[in-house]
């Protein structure tokens, strides 16, 4: 599986003759499994028509900062949150300067300022512009801020000059974009992640469960894999395609998940409890389908085993990251769970909101450990998972 598989990429296209290569970049990104949305500056539209990019990407091209239709649908803030990577190719000298100064007078500029995603630029300009001290200072500033530089290439330019400044070839740009997600921060670590809901049977056809989709757990797995970890997912019943490049153990009930978790965590370095485990199960499971007879019925429930506590007790050297899905007093309940279960850290989120949490593609959470807390504002679950894994990796002992 490509490191760009299922990644969400905004391709920013600025003005310059190299914009014709951007069409091929879209194709190459899609070949690697990425979903691409194109944002063009007005100058870019003079070199390649938006209709071309729309046909290739399969999505409307965004270009106007003040677009009432876009702001009602996917406006610049929504686009910024949607992305896993903002790739600007070509990036003109003018737009690079605007990035340095934080200008938001274009849609692409506003997205650059608002996105929590990775940012990369593939410069394209005349060789004299490239080597000018002002431009090189701008490039250095962007790199210091964490913006990845792809290229430029050297050779004959459209104006006839020869030298550095040509935009890199599409294959090289896409390859470098993929490498941005492979950081090696968890190289040599074994990570076990629980994901999805559990189902607690009432009879052969009915069960108790919850709304967990497994998206957050699967995103955590993808982020850990990109960070170089050996990953095992203990997964309850979900409707998602199973991730690649990791071991998947499918379970149904909390008892099943407990058994698989304890076995997998025995030689793990990190255990991430992202599953939404049912707190209770039926005291007695009917062997035959329960027939509808009375106007009401009573079901006797008993507590399920506490998986994360059992893992902590059995594996005192494993770093355990818990999750707290709450509908009120989110941080208070999360801190109590952190202390009571002796976790290394906990991720708290408000599942009463319909725009984040269960079944949503985005989330907004608080990382809480024993000495600090960090708020991760609303962003895609994929980007959030990478941010959490990066934060976790920085706090692990060498």
β-pair type (153-156, 162-166): antiparallel
Residues 293-330 as b/e (b if ≥16 CB within 10 A, e otherwise) read eeeeeeeeeeebebbbbebbeebeebbbbbbbbbeeeb
Answer yes or no: are the C-beta atoms of 217 and 191 closer than 8 Å: no
246 is catalytic: no
Q: Which residue among 55, 137, 159, 396 is the active-site one?
A: 159
CA 214 to chain centre: 13
SS (H, E, C) the chain: CCCCCCCEEEEEECCCHHHHHHHHHHHHHHHCCCEEEEEECCCHHHCCCHHHHHHHHCCCCECCCCCHHHHHCCCHHHHHHHCCEEEEEEECHHHHHHHHCCCCCCHHHHHHHHCCCEEEEEECCCHHHHHCHHHHHHHHHHHHCCCEECCCEEEECCCCCEEEEECCCHHHHHHHHHHCCCCCCCCCCEEEEEECECCEECCCCCEECCCCCCHHHHHHHHHHHHCCCEEEEEECCCCCCCCCCCEEEECCCHHHHHHHHHHHHCCCCEEEECCECCCEEECCCCCCCCCCCCCCCCCCEEECCCHHHHHHHHCCCCEEEEEEEECCCHHHHHHHHHHHCCCCEEEEEECCCCCCCCCCCEEEEEEECCCCEEEEEEEEHHHHHHHHHHHHHHHCCC
Catalytic center residues: 159
């Amino acid at each position: 599986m490509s490191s760009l598989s299922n990644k969400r990429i905004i391709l920013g296209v600025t003005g310059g003759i190299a914009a014709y290569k951007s069409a091929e970049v879209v194709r190459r990104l899609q070949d690697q499994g990425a979903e691409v949305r194109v944002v063009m500056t007005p100058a870019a539209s003079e070199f390649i028509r938006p209709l071309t990019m729309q046909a290739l990407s399969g999505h409307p091209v965004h270009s106007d900062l003040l677009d009432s239709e876009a702001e009602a649908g996917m406006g610049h803030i929504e686009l910024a949150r949607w992305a896993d990577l903002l790739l600007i190719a070509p990036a003109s000298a003018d737009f690079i300067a605007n990035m340095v100064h934080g200008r938001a007078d274009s849609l692409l500029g506003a997205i650059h300022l608002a996105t929590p995603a990775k940012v990369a630029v593939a410069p394209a300009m005349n060789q004299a512009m490239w080597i000018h001290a002002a431009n090189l200072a701008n490039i250095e500033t962007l790199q210091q801020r964490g913006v990845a530089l792809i290229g430029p290439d050297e050779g004959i330019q459209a104006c006839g000059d020869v030298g550095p400044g040509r935009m890199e070839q599409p294959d090289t740009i896409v390859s470098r974009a993929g490498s941005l997600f492979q950081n090696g921060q968890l190289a040599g670590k074994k990570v076990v992640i629980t994901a999805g809901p559990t189902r607690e049977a009432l009879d052969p056809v009915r069960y108790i469960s919850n709304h967990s989709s497994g998206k957050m757990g699967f995103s955590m797995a993808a982020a850990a894999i990109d960070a170089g970890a050996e990953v095992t997912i203990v997964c309850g019943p979900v409707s998602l395609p199973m991730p690649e490049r990791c071991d998947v153990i499918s379970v149904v009930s909390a008892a099943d998940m407990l058994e698989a978790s304890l076995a997998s965590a025995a030689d793990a370095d990190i255990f991430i409890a992202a599953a939404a485990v049912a707190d209770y199960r039926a005291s007695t499971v009917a062997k035959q389908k329960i027939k509808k007879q009375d106007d009401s019925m009573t079901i006797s429930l008993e507590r399920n085993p506490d998986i994360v506590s059992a893992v902590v007790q059995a594996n005192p050297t494993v770093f355990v990251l818990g999750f707290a899905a709450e509908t009120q007093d989110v941080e208070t309940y999360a801190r109590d769970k952190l202390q009571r279960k002796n976790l290394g850290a906990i991720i708290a989120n408000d599942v009463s909101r319909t725009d984040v949490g269960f079944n949503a593609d985005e989330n907004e959470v608080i990382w809480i450990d024993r000495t600090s807390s960090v708020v991760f504002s609303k962003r895609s679950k994929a980007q959030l998972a990478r941010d959490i894994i990066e934060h976790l990796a920085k706090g692990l002992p060498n």
